[in-house]
Amino acid sequence: MEQRNYNQYCATARTLDLVGERWTLLLVRELLTGPKRFSDLQHSLRGLGTGLLAARMKHLEHEGLAHKVTLPPPARTPAYALTQAGADLEPVVMALARWGLTWAMDEPREQESFHPGWAVLGLKACFDPVAAAGLRALYEFRVEEEVFHARVDDGTIETVHGPAQHPDAVVTTGREVFRDLAAGRTTLEGAIGAGAASVTGDGEALRRLRGLFRLPPQRTRHG
């Protein structure tokens, strides 16, 4: 598949030559949270056909943004991971996410899918380092079949797919409720009160959790 380019000697144009094609940055988003198998990428990016996914991954490999790896035991299966150049796109992806939270997010559309695992990066986009000052806690989120965790360390955050070892607090809920939490349409307290979510763990860690993530005020692009 021929890759289009802008034919401009400009850093922005050169970058878009590499990652501006449809699905490419979303593949980078998926790989920013760790190596993924081909089937993992297919599962997360429904609507991306097998042939186009293979072509996009071949492009990322050819351009030095991703490479093939073998997952450690017990999986021992082939997967894709970002190179250093690919990993350095994280600030770009996070800036797009923060812009989208302000200028592009409204009510979910009927045809739109939602994967709780996307929150692994979304938690970073909404993280308030000031509210996390002095806090050291490990939070685990269980959203149906998806499990991920966040390690908060005195104003910094690291988010990772998979369960945490000895979490200080655990949040358990369903996909739709978590989507509403992520969009600010409900609160954790409200979900717990309605029996749609549960929390366990250290009381102080849970108390601080409520202020760690803040959505920016939504603004309209028109008018």
pLDDT digits (tens, 9 = 90+) for 42-72: 999 989 999 999 999 999 999 999 999 999 8
pTM of the model: 0.89
- Average of per-residue pLDDT values in the chain: 93
What span, in angstroms and rounded, lies between the C-alpha atoms of 110 and 125? 24
User: Confidence class of residue 74 from pLDDT cuts 50, 70 and 90?
Assistant: confident
What's the structural domain count of the chain? 2
The total number of residues written for the chain in this structure:
223
Same domain, 47 and 125: no
User: Is 190 a domain residue?
Assistant: yes
What pLDDT does residue 51 have?
A: 97
**Average pLDDT value for residue range 16-31:** 96
Q: Which of 88, 104, 134 is the last residue of a domain?
A: 88
Considering the chain, what percentage of its residues have pLDDT values greater than 90? 80
CATH number of the domain bearing residue 31: 1.10.10.10
What pLDDT does residue 108 have?
A: 84
Q: Which of 42, 73, 88 is the last residue of a domain?
A: 88
- Distance from first CA to last CA of the chain, Å, rounded? 41
User: Is 105 a domain residue?
Assistant: no
Same domain, 140 and 74: no
User: Is 203 a domain residue?
Assistant: yes
What pLDDT does residue 1 have?
A: 54
What span, in angstroms and rounded, lies between the C-alpha atoms of 107 and 185? 9
**Average pLDDT value for residue range 121-134:** 94
**Average pLDDT value for residue range 82-95:** 97
User: Is 71 a domain residue?
Assistant: yes
Same domain, 200 and 126: yes
What pLDDT does residue 68 have?
A: 97
User: Is 202 a domain residue?
Assistant: yes
What pLDDT does residue 2 have?
A: 62
Same domain, 81 and 123: no
Same domain, 123 and 192: yes
Range of the domain at 52: 11-88
User: Is 2 a domain residue?
Assistant: no
Same domain, 46 and 127: no
Residue 95 has pLDDT above 60, yes or no: yes
- Within 10 angstroms of residue 212's Cβ, the number of other Cβ atoms is 20
Cβ(32)–Cβ(121) under 8 Å? yes
User: Is 214 a domain residue?
Assistant: no
CATH number of the domain bearing residue 177: 3.30.1050.10
What pLDDT does residue 158 have?
A: 95
Q: Report phi then psi at 221, rounded to 5.
A: -85, -5
Same domain, 68 and 140: no
Query: Which pair of structure tokens corresponds to residue 155?
Result: 């104003």
Q: What is the DSSP letter of 3?
A: P
What pLDDT does residue 62 have?
A: 97
User: Is 167 a domain residue?
Assistant: yes
Q: Which of 37, 70, 88 is the last residue of a domain?
A: 88
**Average pLDDT value for residue range 128-155:** 96
Query: Which pair of structure tokens corresponds to residue 154?
Result: 């005195």
